């Protein structure tokens, strides 16, 4: 599991600039979560081969100083609780402020690594001014300039060294993890309650009842896996309270560390923009995906309704349309076991390994009959294919001129792989490599 690092501090010290600089190394997780309120962000980055998730906790813009400080304290406490390490950012231009002292007081009690970072230090004079931050009682500090990246290397070296080592065998048993995700009030908890046959989770018609990602071990009808109920992911403009922000963050983390995402869609609301954001978040994280259209019993339908709704969803998720769609009702338990069977199939597809000899025997003749189009007068010859040893299907095609293979031909190869080997519900990556 990747570690979480929280950037805390009062507003306008340069937290977001620093966050953006790090996230540029990798694509931010999803539009829906990047900037969950006006200036909060959640993203992923890596340094020296160590990957970690980053939260920009942001600051509030509230009238009274007293409310301001109380809100900042509350947010810092939540960040401390969730994160594995904390970056406390201060501003050399304004020096030590009362609010910095309040945050420092909280951080001095913490038993997690805390890095005091003095920002906007872009010359020798400012480096001398930074000495006053020793008064915060947090020990040594790091001087950086978020705007141009100066000093960030030393900080990140120390940060990744202090992060707990990822424990791959942390799971007592290697069970598949299925995350039940979707927007609030789509029926995620009702689906799990129907599946396990007991009211394990509180279900109300108030959106946002579930606050945390909760694991349930499922062992019935020959299936065994961990089922994770997640808090709903809402549109960034709708997320107001801190508690809900961290619920969203935990949902994102649940998606990152799942094998298959069961995306629950409210049939009455349709496959709207927010549901699409969750879908693409799972796809970018290369997870298996099953779309469950819930509350299907409440929809007025005829013999064409299912086909039309399926077509509508596939238009929204193109070009990744090879995704199973199951129409369910958590209330009447209609097709809920079909949903689980499908999720297990997708999990098996994701774990599928194909022998190199079989890949070459099957695909090379197909490639020979339809080779990559010539580009700039150069002819590309694909000589060899192998599946990479990764948790999800990734294939390397070795050729003489990998740079001249365009995206449409890569999609053609992906479609052939799907057609022959059945990777339904699983993102497939195709890489061209120099032979």
Question: Is 288 within any annotated ligand binding site?
Answer: no
Question: Is 84 within any annotated ligand binding site?
Answer: no
Question: Is 14 within any annotated ligand binding site?
Answer: yes
Question: Is 193 within any annotated ligand binding site?
Answer: no
SS3 sequence, 237-264?
A: HHCCCHHHHHHHHHHHHHHHCCCEEEEE
Question: Is 36 within any annotated ligand binding site?
Answer: no
Question: Is 130 within any annotated ligand binding site?
Answer: no
Question: Is 231 within any annotated ligand binding site?
Answer: yes
Closest listed residue to residue 65, CA positions, set 104, 99, 106: 99
CA-to-CA distance for 401 and 378, rounded, in angstroms? 8
Residue 125's CB is within 10 A of a number of other CB atoms, namely 9
Q: Please state whether beta strands 141-143 and 114-119 pair in parallel, antiparallel, or not at all (unpaired).
A: parallel
Question: Is 230 within any annotated ligand binding site?
Answer: yes
Question: Is 150 within any annotated ligand binding site?
Answer: no
Question: Is 332 within any annotated ligand binding site?
Answer: no
Question: Is 34 within any annotated ligand binding site?
Answer: no
Question: Is 294 within any annotated ligand binding site?
Answer: yes
Question: Is 346 within any annotated ligand binding site?
Answer: no
Question: Is 16 within any annotated ligand binding site?
Answer: yes
Question: Is 109 within any annotated ligand binding site?
Answer: no
Question: Is 205 within any annotated ligand binding site?
Answer: no
Question: Is 186 within any annotated ligand binding site?
Answer: yes
Question: Is 189 within any annotated ligand binding site?
Answer: yes
Kindly give, in sequence order, each residue whose CB lies less than 8 Å from that of residue 39, ignoring residues fewer than 6 positions away: 11, 16, 56, 58, 59
Question: Is 94 within any annotated ligand binding site?
Answer: no
Question: Is 60 within any annotated ligand binding site?
Answer: yes
Question: Is 182 within any annotated ligand binding site?
Answer: yes
Closest listed residue to residue 210, CA positions, set 226, 191, 193, 188: 188
Question: Is 232 within any annotated ligand binding site?
Answer: yes
Question: Is 177 within any annotated ligand binding site?
Answer: no
Question: Is 233 within any annotated ligand binding site?
Answer: yes
Whole-Å CA distances, 420 to 363, 382, 414: 9, 19, 10
Question: Is 383 within any annotated ligand binding site?
Answer: no
Does residue 197 contact residue 148 with C-beta atoms inside 8 Å? no
Question: Is 121 within any annotated ligand binding site?
Answer: yes
Question: Is 118 within any annotated ligand binding site?
Answer: no
Question: Is 47 within any annotated ligand binding site?
Answer: no
Question: Is 123 within any annotated ligand binding site?
Answer: no
Question: Is 15 within any annotated ligand binding site?
Answer: yes
Residues at the binding site for GTP are: 9-16, 56-60, 119-122, 182-189, 229-233, 294-297
Binding residues, by number, are 9-16, 56-60, 119-122, 182-189, 229-233, 294-297
């Amino acid at each position: 599991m990747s570690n979480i690092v929280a950037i805390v501090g009062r507003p306008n010290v340069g937290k977001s600039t620093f966050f953006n600089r790090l996230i540029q190394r990798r694509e931010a997780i999803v539009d829906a979560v990047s900037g969950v309120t006006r200036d909060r962000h959640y993203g992923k980055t890596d340094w020296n081969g160590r990957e970690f998730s980053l939260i920009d906790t942001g600051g509030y813009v509230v009238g009274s100083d007293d409310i301001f400080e109380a809100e900042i304290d509350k947010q810092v406490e939540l960040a401390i609780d969730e994160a594995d390490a904390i970056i406390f950012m201060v501003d050399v231009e304004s020096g030590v402020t009362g609010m910095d002292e309040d945050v420092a007081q909280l951080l001095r009690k913490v038993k997690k690594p805390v890095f005091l970072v003095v920002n906007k230090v872009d010359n020798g004079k400012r480096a001398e001014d930074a000495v006053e931050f020793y008064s915060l009682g947090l020990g040594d500090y790091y001087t950086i300039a978020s705007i141009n990246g100066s000093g960030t290397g030393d900080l990140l070296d120390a940060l990744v060294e202090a992060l707990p080592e990822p424990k791959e065998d942390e799971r007592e048993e290697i069970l598949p993890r299925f995350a039940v995700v979707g927007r609030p009030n789509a029926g995620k908890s009702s689906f799990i309650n129907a599946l396990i046959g007991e009211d394990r989770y509180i279900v109300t018609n108030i959106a946002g009842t579930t606050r945390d990602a909760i694991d349930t071990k499922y062992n019935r009808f020959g299936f065994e896996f961990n089922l994770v109920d997640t808090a709903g992911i809402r549109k960034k403009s709708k997320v107001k309270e801190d508690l809900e922000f961290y619920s969203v963050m935990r949902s994102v983390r649940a998606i990152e560390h799942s094998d298959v995402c069961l995306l629950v869609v409210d049939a009455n609301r349709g496959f709207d923009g927010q549901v699409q954001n969750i879908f693409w978040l799972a796809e970018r994280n290369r997870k298996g995906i099953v779309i469950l259209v819930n509350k299907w019993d409440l929809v007025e339908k005829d013999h064409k309704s299912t086909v039309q709704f399926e077509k509508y969803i596939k238009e929204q998720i193109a070009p990744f349309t090879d995704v199973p769609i199951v129409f369910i009702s958590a209330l009447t338990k209609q097709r809920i076991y079909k949903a689980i069977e499908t999720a297990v199939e997708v999990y098996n597809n994701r774990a599928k390994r194909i022998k190199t000899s079989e890949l070459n025997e099957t695909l090379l003749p197909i490639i020979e009959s339809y080779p990559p189009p010539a580009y700039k007068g150069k002819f590309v010859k694909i000589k060899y294919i192998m599946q990479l040893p990764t948790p999800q299907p990734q294939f390397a095609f070795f050729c003489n001129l990998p740079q001249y293979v365009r995206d449409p031909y890569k999609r053609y190869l992906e479609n052939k792989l799907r057609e022959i080997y059945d990777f339904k519900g699983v993102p497939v990556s195709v890489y061209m490599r120099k032979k």
